[in-house]
Structure 1
Amino acid sequence: MKFLFSSLMLFTGILCFAQDSYQSIVLKNELTEHANAILRDEQVLIEIEDVDDMTITTKRVVTVLNKYGDDYVRAYDFYDDNDAKIKKQNALVLNKLGEEVKQFKQRDFKDQSAVGSSNLYSDNRVSYLNYSPADYPYTVVYESEVSMSTTVFIKAFQPINNYFLSVASSKYELKNPNHIPIRYVETNLDSIQVEKKVSDFELTYTFKNIPAYNYEPYSPKVANMAPMVKVALNDFSLMGVEGSASEWSTFGKWQFENLLKGRDELNANTIAEVSELVKDAANDYEKAKMIYEYMQSKTRYISVQLGIGGWEPILASEVDRVGYGDCKGLTNYTKALLSSQGIKSNYAVVYAGNEQKDIDPGFASMQGNHVILNIPNIAEDDVWLECTSQSMPFNYLGDFTDNRHVLLIKEEGGEIVKTPQYTCQKNLEETFCKIELSEDSFTATVKRESKGISYGNNYHIQNQKEKDKNIYYKEILGNLPGIHINTLNFENNKDQVSFSEQLDFSGKKFHTTAGNRILLPLNFIQPEIDAVTRDEDRKYPIEILRGFTNKDQFDFKIPEAYTIEALPDAINIETDFGKFSFSVEVADDDPRLLQVKRSITINEGKWSPNQFSDFREFLNKINILSNQKAVLVKNG
């Protein structure tokens, strides 16, 4: 009894300690389920003293449960020499009992450039905690204070923006004693525990007990489902340049006047050179294409994070002189070249990346991470240019900037428009295979043509090293044993935005033998369709950002000693999610030639969670039916 009493007292002591500290051996199940890390306590205080005076004070306590949670610590802050200053920064590491492991003062943090290796020069830097844990779980208590003169960016309140992170408590407070008008927008707050206090000039939000989002196949990105509050000032400053705006038209005009105006001048020699280049062009579309390819041939991408907060492009004349620039500089340079020939174009700010993030059409603020170029009125649809690539075709964006809202910055004001969508019909791969079989080997010729997003995924193959090409194709043809690639040929038709590959190769037999019969797999190249497991408790919608169509034909020349005994029936499936068809026939003029045709279309779209079982069944049927076999029997 004495031992039991002592144990109970010890356990009670641990529980009390857990309430007053950050020990992590006793945690709520709803916060640990599906979590790699837990945001125990976050407090973000934003104090707006003036349109050019803001201080952000942060306390962030994260318990990391396993090695996959290390990235959620996020003990870092950005700064630069001219605008943002880190006034305070420290961290404390605790073990699972809440005991101190190590303290870090500001001088102990690592410091490095905040941009990648392609950067030429930049004053943006990051000061971050560099800690390698000896054991899990562990907890990091991070505190910082950063002052800055730029107020055009107000940190949004979004404690969760990825899977496998739960939140015990997160508080966001904006103080605004000078009553500068603010705007804010709330999303996805209905399903969480939230305390809020808002007024015309200040606001406070506290989110509590948000379980981790558990990844489900084909689910939307967490940022589109998690709670968030976005905030902006109507009067603001960007590196000392002040402005006022509450909607996109005036905000875009402010950007044009302060970031772009007067930066598109070119010297007379360059204008004369371009005029000579396009003098025989039939129309403005041809002129624009020539100018784009001219720009690609004489420039290269290098990041240059200077100017007004890194948002102002370097002068077009400077890009012309040195032959390099970042996305802003190269886009502005291309715009200037086009303007010299009377072709109007628009500088377009976008969120780049394959997840299709939008500039929010309903909330004017400084957004985006990339710049592209829009050319109206020279074709049936607007022309779009990615100016940082030396290899992309004219009027092709690919999955880096497709199908999303962007901001056009015009002299008359800003305008939100959408970039082109590559539909499942446009994202087309067509493959034609000729396969000659023997009893113990085969030879084959494969021709594949890629268009739409598939073009962007595949055209780079031609520039890889021979060793990497061989590895790539052996992975694609992984269902075929003993592959030896004999020849590879490529054709990149930029005018048609079409990429063609031809492979000649041989391999060991991929069929099975049963007595005097051959069981021949008819899908020579396996479809790239994920096998999806059953999920009776699906929570999130099904989302396919980009659909595609694959059309394949496999012509099998069977060995002379064999005849065809049995063939599978034709298949045709149509659903909301896409279509699948499969057929096999003997050629009319050759009894030894089997012609297999397969077509797969996966639609882009979004569907409710209760449709997941139908979606899963459709995908799994494609995989199962792609294992169809023909039966060949040996003569005599």
Structure 2
Amino acid sequence: MRIFSLLILLLPALVVKAQDDYAVNLIPKDLLPYASAVIRNQSVTTEVKDAANTIYHIKKAVTILNKNGDDIAEIVLFYDKSRSIKSIKGATYDEFGKLASKFTDRNFDDAAATDGFSLYQDSRVKHYLPSIATYPYTIEYEVEMRFKQTLVLPDWLPIPEPSVAVQKSSYTFACKPDFKVNFKEINMPVKMTTGATKEGLTTYNWQVDNLKAYRAEPYSPVAETYYSRVKVAPKNFIYSGISGSSSNWDDLGSWIYSNLLKGRRELLPSTKEEIKQLTANIADPKLKAKKIYEYMQGKTRYISVQIGIGGFQPYPASEVDRLNYGDCKGLVNYTQALLDAANVPSWYCMVEAGANKKVSMMRDFATMDQGNHIILCLPFKNDTTYLECTSQKIPFGFLSDFTDDRTVLACTPEGGKLMHTPKYSAAQNLQTRNAQFSIADNGDLSGNMVTIYKGTQYDNPEELVGEQFTEQVKTIRKMYNHITNLDVEKFNLKQDKLEMPVSTENIKLNAADFASADNGKLYFSLNPLNRSRSIKDVRNRVNPVYINRGYTDEDEITYTLPKGYHPDIEPWNVSLNQPFGKYRASVSIADGKLVYKRSLEIIDGTYGKDMYDKLVEFYQKVADNDAYTVSLIKN
């Protein structure tokens, strides 16, 4: 009886102790700076039972300190035929570590993993975000999943994103001793240790403790270059019942070619004959390819089709030909089939696409998850050409900023080859503008301007293409929002679809009260067409300065001034020079005209963190000069 009573007395203390584990006041104070969330404890295990059976288990507790950390609390689980969710359970706690609620898989929303433009998808997603409006709080959950493959296994990121600190996080990869696997440790603060389970499995282990949160810093390199990460790649794998090797890119590219692509490029004889007739009078292989590419663009449209060996295999070319649509894989494969009919060789290329960051394949580590898009390579001698097959508008041989300047995997009959897509320089990414404006004595503005866009700036006016005039005017007013009361009389956009394409924009416009009147003077903005903004100052910066893509803007505006007025300024010149950019601006006055010239060149690259202060100062000076106001006074 005394023993039973003692247990009764001890039980509340044990419960309180368990609850106190997630009390917010137990978080080390030095983990709080810059943190919106703190991972209190995380344990991730990947256990490969055999090449077609992997168990992925995660147990995680994370404290959400403020609203900015809510996205860390959300649990998102994708599943399909090759990935199944075995179990989900979890709970939430208040700031004192007291249990607030429990949840299971019944509390998750379950939806098709659609993206708004997909026609066929066999992936689904379960997601859950606790409805808690009081901060801080803690969410703890445990998930187990089964993968019927070993081609793509999850990375381990101790810190998944900025503003997240870590008290403790561990990762274990377990497999049979004869299962060979490659690891790539990226910026890891600890070294791997090995061990064994009582069942005889070999374990590879990492554990980190007390990692401070990264602060999101403007102009930082892509996260893949400085976040801590462990990547996993079995040397031999099974995917959808098909075995293969990913020991290197040559092997992986060979597997893709032989197992995902082979036999998918068959076309009806009638389609082959149509292509032969289309190119019958063209001798140059590149001109043949251009003709076929434009045929494909005119015939098809892009719709995502995420089925077929986990979304990695393209739809058969004959089906794309019949249906007139496909995703990036299907459209590339279809274009290859059309080129085959004209005896023009081409290679299917996997790439990590994205305009805001350039991420290349790791040359020393081959994995399928390093690409999210497919493009086509035409390996002409001394003239390698790349094609983006999902756009009906993009010019032949032009990649724009979506897949430029990065290492890609070409899948060829001889195996995988790493190649690099073209880089568009700051000088090539050129915008030039010439405006001829007149200001009336009542402040009204009228005139014409011609803007030429080249390189990756070719796409700047893309939103205007094919729209009704009324819609174009709305867009132009947003583009040139520093001209109040803007009215567009005429507009024309011409696109020269060269490999280095050119867009030419002509606008005839007027604007009432462009110059405001006050005490007999007229005031107007010297540069209403192309202004830069200042950027955020960051003290104690950690990351180097990274400029993703360079460009050059050149503007010239000639103002014919109202009769009887002259500008209350003297001619001036401004010149700024830094390793990352150059800025020139000048004003000249003669014969009743004021001529304003502006040139801004931004040079892509990586610069030392100490250069950020100079970058802030540079953009502040540019913004100040761009916002210059001119006053006109009567003679």
Q: Give the direction of change, closer, same or farther, for the CA distance of 1:472–1:63 in structure 2 (3 Å limit).
A: farther
Q: Deviations over 1:152-198 (max 9, x none)?
A: 11211113242222222211100112431111111112xx4x36414
* Distance (Å, rounded) in 1 between the aligned partners of 2:534 and 2:516: 24
- CA deviations 1:573-611 (Å, max 9, x no partner) are 322111111223345xxx122222211100001101112
Structure 2 letter corresponding to 1:542: V
Q: 1:321 is paired with a residue of what secondary structure? A: helix
Tell me how far 1:427 sits from its aligned partner. Answer: 1.0
Partners in 2 of 1:465 and 1:103 — Cα distance? 54
Query: For residues 293 and 448 of structure 1, what CA distance do their matches in structure 2 show?
Result: 27
- Computed over aligned residues only, the root mean square deviation of the Cα atoms, in angstroms, reads 2.4
Opposite residue 474 of structure 1, the aligned amino acid is R
- The 5 A counterparts of 1:222-621 are 222-354=223-355, 355-367=357-369, 368-377=371-380, 380-439=382-441, 440-464=443-467, 468-495=471-498, 497-511=501-515, 515=519, 517-518=521-522, 520-527=524-531, 529-564=532-567, 566-586=569-589, 591-621=591-621
CA pair 289-634 structure 1, distance change in 2 beyond 3 A: same
Could you report, residue by residue, the CA deviation over 1:510-562 in whole angstroms, capped at 9, with x for unpaired residues? Answer: 446575554554323242x3313443412111100101100101010000112
Matching residue of 2:36: 36
1:73 counterpart = 2:76: no
Q: Distance in 2 between matches of 1:519 and 1:388?
A: 48
Q: Deviations over 1:205-230 (max 9, x none)?
A: 11222222112221123332111111
The reply on whether 1:57 has 2:57 as its aligned counterpart is yes
Query: What SS does the corresponding residue of 1:492 show, helix, strand or coil?
Result: strand
Deviations 1:248-279 (A, max 9, x none): 11221111111111211111110111111122
Alpha-carbon distance change, 226 to 240 in structure 1, aligned in 2, over 3 angstroms: same
Offset at residue 199 of structure 1 (A): 7.1
Task: Spell out, residue by residue over 1:335-357, the C-alpha distance to the aligned partner (whole angstroms, 9 max, x if none).
Answer: 11111111111100011112112
Q: CA deviation at 1:500?
A: 2.1
Tell me which amino acid in the other structure corresponds to 2:54. Answer: M
| Shift in alpha-carbon separation, 1:521–1:314, aligned structure 2, 3 A | closer
Task: Determine if the alignment matches structure 1 residue 92 to structure 2 residue 91.
Answer: yes
Q: Counterpart of 2:368 in 1: which secondary structure? A: coil
Looking at structure 1, the residues matched to 538 and 219 of structure 2 have their Cα atoms a distance apart, in angstroms, of: 12
The one-letter code sitting in structure 2 at the alignment partner of 1:134 is A
Check conservation: 1:567, 1:631, Cα contact below 8 A.
no
Report the 3-state secondary structure (helix = DSSP H, G, I; strand = E; otherwise coil) of the residue aligned with 1:400. coil
Q: Secondary structure at the match of 1:143?
A: strand
- Matches of 1:173 and 1:219, distance apart in 2: 30
Q: In 2, Cα distance between the equivalents of 1:338 and 1:160?
A: 46
> What's the secondary structure of 2:418's corresponding residue?
strand
Structure 2 partner of 1:4: none
Residue 370 of structure 1 and its aligned partner are, at CA, apart by 1.0
**1:83-110 deviation per Cα after TM superposition (whole angstroms, max 9, x unaligned):** 2221111221222222222222223322
CA distance in 1, matches of 2:177, 2:110: 34
> Does structure 1 retain, via aligned residues, the 8 Å contact 2:444–2:515?
no
SS at match of 1:270: helix
Q: What amino acid does structure 1 have at the position aligned with 2:318?
A: S
Higher alpha-carbon deviation: 100-109 or 509-518? 509-518
Q: Could you tell me whether the CA contact under 8 Å between 1:455 and 1:497 is conserved in 2?
A: yes
Counterpart of 2:43 in 1: which secondary structure? strand
Match of 2:193 in 1: 197
Q: In structure 2, what is the Cα distance between the partners aligned to 1:19 and 1:421?
A: 56
Give the fraction of aligned pairs with identical amino acids, expressed as a percent: 33
Q: Report if the CA contact (8 A) 2:38-2:62 is conserved.
A: yes
Deviations 1:10-57 (A, max 9, x none): xxx99x858852233553333222222222221111101111111001
Deviation at 1:477, TM superposition (A): 2.5
- Partner secondary structure for residue 263 of structure 1: coil
Change in 2 beyond 3 A, CA 1:464/1:543: farther
Counterparts of 1:121-140 in structure 2, within 5 Å, are 121-140=120-139
Aligned letter for 1:406?
V
Q: Which stretch shows the higher mean deviation, 431-440 or 596-605?
A: 431-440
Give the residue type in structure 2 aligned to 1:253: S
TM normalised by structure 2 equals 0.91
Q: 1:9 aligns to what? A: none
Code of the residue aligned with 1:503 in structure 2: it is I
Supply the distance in 1 between the matched residues of 2:290 and 2:432 (Cα, whole angstroms). 27
Q: Which amino acid aligns with 1:53?
A: N
Equivalent position amino acid for 2:289 in 1: A
Contact 1:399 1:456 in 2 (8 A): no
Aligned length: 614
Deviates more, 1:27-36 or 1:359-368: 27-36
* Structure 2 residue aligned with 1:120: 119
Q: Is the 8 A contact 1:459 1:492 kept in 2?
A: no
In structure 2, stretches of 5+ residues that fail to align are: 1-12, 197-201
User: Which stretch has the larger CA shift, 399-408 or 561-570?
Assistant: 561-570
Give the unaligned 5+ runs of structure 1.
1-12
Q: What secondary structure does 1:399 align onto?
A: coil
| Aligned counterparts of 2:628 and 2:91: Cα–Cα separation in 1 | 60
Give the residue type in structure 2 aligned to 1:55.
I
Distance 1:505 1:361 in 2: 52
Alignment-derived partner of residue 4 in structure 2:
none
Seen in structure 2, the aligned counterparts of structure 1 residues 215 and 307 have a Cα distance that, compared at 3 Å, is same
